[in-house]
A and B are shown apart, each in its own frame.
Chain A
Amino acid sequence: MTNKQNNNVKRKRSWLKGDDLSGYLFIAVAMLIFIAFTAYPVFSAIKTSFFLYKPFGSEFVGLENYAETFTNSLFYKSVKNTIIYTIIVVPLSLVIAFSIAVMVMAFQKRTQSIFKAIYYLPGIASGVALSVVWLWLYDSSPSGLFNQILAFLGMPTQNWLNSSKTSMLSLIIMALASGQGSSVIIYVAALLGIDNSTFEAAELDGASFMQKIRYIVIPLVKPSTLFLFVTGIIGSFQVFMNAYMMTGGGPDNNTTMIGLLIFNNAFVYSKYGLACAQAIVLAIIIGAISFLQFKLMGVDVEY
């Protein structure tokens, strides 16, 4: 046996010993969870999307579920609804979260923590509980809270969740008002990471507040912005709870998002194969958008 062969045998045996073994065992937990709850469902969904799913004997239908997806007008309507929701909610959320973070930074650390906790509070509340509160706020009768405010201001009351003119707006307002907690915390952390000397130098040069924001803060928090932008779009495309709880997708499917459509197909109409095909299409859409975001925005971002 040559020295080289001896070394190979030693290398093969050594990975199961000592630190290496405990290392593999430690990552085994994460790997098993990943395989069981992420990888397996993804592969299973891909496989199921080619079947007319039945628990006791599915039938292979090839690309039929995909063909049905792409010829279904409701699928396109749900994609359109989701895009409208995303285009408005994600950028506005970033602006709101960034503005709150900048304002919070003006306070001392203790006060900052209080504000961060307040803004994060909706994040720890149950989505269902939040929806119930918002349903009460959006009560379409004249005694509804928002309608009373409108009436007080001399404006006509609104059929908030039951009119196609206001139902999407209602969901957007709800998302903007109750979903900024984690973004604010991430922006505050990013702002704390900017060296004070940078601001001092800018002040010596006579920079105004807005100039400091534009030329120092925005470029330096760009990695956080990119992260929040990408995760925001992914989350927005997967939005489900708001539409499910508040409008059920109505009226006239004007608030039916892709997530809700997939849920309904799978668990209301028992068209599991079709739902899997739509979920795969959604994953491809999200993947493509995320890829483009990193390509276009992530060029000069360093982590």
Chain B
Amino acid sequence: MKKFLALLLALVMVCSLFAGCSSGQKETTGTETTQAPEQTPDTATKAPVSAAEDVITLMVPPVSATYFEKVHEWADSFHELYPNLTINIIETSWDDHNAKLSTMSLAGEAPDIAEVSSSAIGTHVELGVGVNISDYMDAETLADYDKNALEYMSLEGKTYGLPLYLSIQSIGANLDMLTEAGVDVPKVQQNGWTFDEFVTAIGNGTKDDRYGFVFASSAVTASDMLNIFGVSAGINNAFTSDLKYAYTSKNMLTFLQAIEKITTSGYMPNYGVDASQRMVMCQTGNAMIFGKAMPLFEGNITKNNKALEANDGTAVEGSIPVNYSFLPVPVMDGVKESCYGTVDGLMVFRNNKTTDEHLANVMLALNYLCSGDVAAYVSSELYLDSVCESGRAVISKYTVEGRDENNLACASREMSLVVAPPTGLTAEMSSKAATLMELMIAPKFQALLAGEATAQEMYDAICDAAFDQFGEAGCETGSIQ
């Protein structure tokens, strides 16, 4: 009896190992169970849509404050429109989204659609998991999206996803402090300003208990400063229009020397500032200008002002009422003004279960989640203009009331100054540039900000590494106008 029990227990233990090994996925056979919606121009795909049940996986971080809440509503609406299609949503945080996406891609189990920043597309394409959506989506549907924004989602003439919003990243300020420092703020918002004017302003704005300028510079946020202030020196993208690597140009050295000057001036903190601290420093009156800033922050600051007025204990500790101004990035001598912009969109991924029939369904979901009311709602919540015609047509329904007119006009102006990446970039070039930025340039920039490397040392190190990756002929060593 004892032996029998021991055997039984051992068998149960062995079997329990395999208990969780079934796929748990419902097989998506070709059995027609529901009536497919009639084929209309809205269906967006070149391939005929099947009536078979299908599940589309979407992986997204919290794109905006209410995005998670809304994306479930949109998935339900999509299911009502196409009863045979279900969108399965995987929610991630901004911190782990990219690592999780890479891990799933490497295992061949990427979600069908995922939120991706345009700069990361090259890495996924290099891995062979990107899908050229123009093979599956008709030209009429693609024409709804702004060409400029679509360029961000494309490499080597192939489009790997649809743009959701074009984010403009610049600097923001306490309007009253900036005016007190002698700056005609509305004029700057309308016409831009020079780097010298900026340095004078932050010098005037620096007091015993206040920095004229603060920029988040801890860990990965250092690359934000590189990107945003890089345009001050004329570096709009990692590559020039003739596809040469731009961070080796003379503009880069000028830019690094300018940053070196600011860091040693005492106008900005000489210690690392976390991303979460920079706006708080402005709200508490410890900084006049802060970066990175986006138009969206007007909403956060207005909300805090209301909390201060209501005295309900939800305001940022030690904060004061602030009139927020969204500002253009200052421009250095001899450089054409532009603004740093990045497109975040939804990219289509290939996984173990991908079939042409499934991709046709994925395209329907992709277009649904990037156009019309959805695009308008997302852009509006981020205080941005929509990047598709169908979104712009309905954006008035979602416009946030009470926005500052000058900020609104400045944001529109900056958006028009964004320069799209050059055409002809290859996935390999894009991937190499992203790796170079993460592994070498951003870490060196941290050292520059900490006063542990000089501008010249950093520039030389960038040139060495870039020549190694792209060859000297593939790098711009002169000036970019």
Contacts and interface: CB of A to CB of B under 8 A. Distances in A.
| A pairs with B | yes
**Looking at chain A, what size class is its interface with the partner chain?**
35 or more
B14 A28 contact: yes
- Prevailing SS type, chain A contact patch: loop
Contact of A163 (B14, B129, B277, B450): B450
Contacts of A290: none
Nearest to A253: B443
Contact of A270 (B6, B127, B438, B443): B127
Nearest to B124: A270
B269 A248 contact: no
A214 interface: no
A165 B453 CA distance: 12
A164 B3 CA distance: 64
Nearest to B17: A32
A251 interface: yes
B218 interface: yes
Interface stretch (A2-10, A49-57, A180-188): A49-57
Interface residues of B, number: 48
Contacts of A57: 128
B65 interface: no
Given A18-B3, A25-B11, A252 B108 contact: no
B217 interface: yes
A192 to B, nearest CB: 34
B447 A252 contact: yes
Nearest to A157: B271
B88 interface: no
A266 interface: yes
A32 B128 CA distance: 33
A269 B101 CA distance: 12
Interface string A28-69: 110011000000000000000000011111000000000000
- Prevailing SS type, chain B contact patch: helix
A277 interface: no
A263 B270 CA distance: 31
A252 B444 contact: yes
Given A252-B452, A270-B127, A164 B106 contact: no
A159 B272 contact: yes
B35 interface: no
B249 interface: no
A42 B277 CA distance: 43
Interface string B405-447: 0000000000000000000000000010011001100111011
Interface string B62-92: 0000000000000000000000000000000
Contacts of B128: 54-57
Nearest to B101: A267
B22 to A, nearest CB: 16
Contact of A28 (B10, B105, B124, B217): B10
Nearest to B21: A36
A46 B425 CA distance: 34
Interface in B102-121: 102-103, 105-108
Interface string A264-303: 1011111010000000000000000000000000000000
7 contacts: A32-B14, A159-B270, A159-B272, A252-B453, A264-B439, A268-B99, A270-B124
Interface of A: 18-19, 21-22, 25-26, 28-29, 32-33, 53-57, 74, 140-141, 157, 159, 161-165, 247-253, 264, 266-270, 272
